[in-house]
Amino acid sequence: MQGFRRDRLTWVAYVLLAWFAYLQAAPGLVIAHLRDELHLSYSTGGLHVAAFATGTILAGVVGVRLETAVGRGRLLWSATLLMSVGVVGLTAGRVATVTVGSVLVMGVGGGLLLVAIQAALSDHHGELRTVALTEANVAASVAYVVLIGALSLTAALHAGWRLALLVPLAVPAVAWWGNRELAIVAPPPSRLAAGSLPRVFWLAATMMFCTTAVEWCIAAWGASFVEDATDVSADTSVALMAGYFGGVVVGRTLGSGLARRYDPARLLALAMGLTALGFAVLWPAGSPVQALLGLTLLGVGLGNLFPMGLSVTVALAPDRSALASSRAVTTTAAAVLLAPLTVGTLADATSLEAAFGVVPVMLALSAVLLATLARVQARLSSAPAP
């Protein structure tokens, strides 16, 4: 892995993925404020995260065709503009219909951006894609912590959460202006969409569905869970989520280094175990300290589930990275759509604590699927060549 080099395209991808992650996490964190301001139920609050996921699913379906039609670079920069329009709508909306619709637009733009970034890094770095994708997600996790800090700062200044979402809209504009001559191109169309993905890819994609469901149950409802379980304010519960996002930074930083020496599947298994430990601490939490510890452990484990899972999944179709990236985005977005919405619906019927039982179930399924994937790959590798 000594040949890995970060050039301008790599850094642009890192910056834009961090910007995407900042805004992707925002709906889940501002749900607590929107519920207070607009008097929303858990289910209606969950629709905001579901809307983002729905938009991302749409983007995953059409992403490859759009990239082929307009080019990867034009798709990437147009996607940042569309996501920015959605953010403006979210901050301006004063009824749930407008805010949910705006988050849907954010999801479409964000999904297209994610397809382009993941494919660009995979194509650009080839066999070293695991390092690139993990480092990119380190940048994304740093953005989560910056978001927590921005929301906490605006709360302390009584400036409102909306300012924390509007100021970062300058990032893609500056990035585009400074890199408008940078060539961001895709392989020939025959490599982008020709053929079909192998069956083993869908086994890995299903595993990613489960791990993403776990991640977004925590990202979307973690602050609300802590608020209910420890009887703290919405601002305090959001601030405690810094433990989770800080853990993600630590986990992905460690993971990016380990990815240079170890198989991503082994690191993925380790991350699943640590995630289970963190949830075992968080679920029964009755104090802010215990909740913070559980969130931090969860962050360290969960932080590596997506980049390691994505690397394992895309590597199963290395000659069709854009198609693999697009389908991975669609699959994980479906998890982002269904998991928080399911938890919100169950919470309305029972309690948020009971609804969090979805997390260990999905985590167990992901572990079973990873083990199955390892057996299938071992059988395929030992099969005689035709």
All domains in the chain, ordered by first residue: 8-381 (1.20.1250.20)
Stronger pLDDT, 113 or 160, i.e. the higher one: 113
317 close to 187: Cβ distance less than 8 angstroms: no
pLDDT tens-digit series, residues 51-92 = 888 898 888 888 878 888 888 889 999 999 999 999 999 999
Query: Average pLDDT of 208-223?
Result: 90
CA distance 229 to 38: 22
| Side-chain half-sphere CA neighbours of 92 within 13 A | 8
pLDDT at 132: 85
pLDDT at 80: 96
pLDDT at 271: 93
CA distance 104 to 291: 31
57 close to 341: Cβ distance less than 8 angstroms: no
Q: How many CB atoms lie within 10 A of CB 342?
A: 17
* Phi, psi (degrees; rounded to nearest 5) at 37: -70, -40
Stronger pLDDT, 20 or 196, i.e. the higher one: 20
pLDDT tens-digit series, residues 108-139 = 999 999 888 988 888 888 777 778 888 888 88
Judged on CB neighbours under 10 Å (0-12, 13-18, 19+), 21 is buried
109 close to 81: Cβ distance less than 8 angstroms: yes
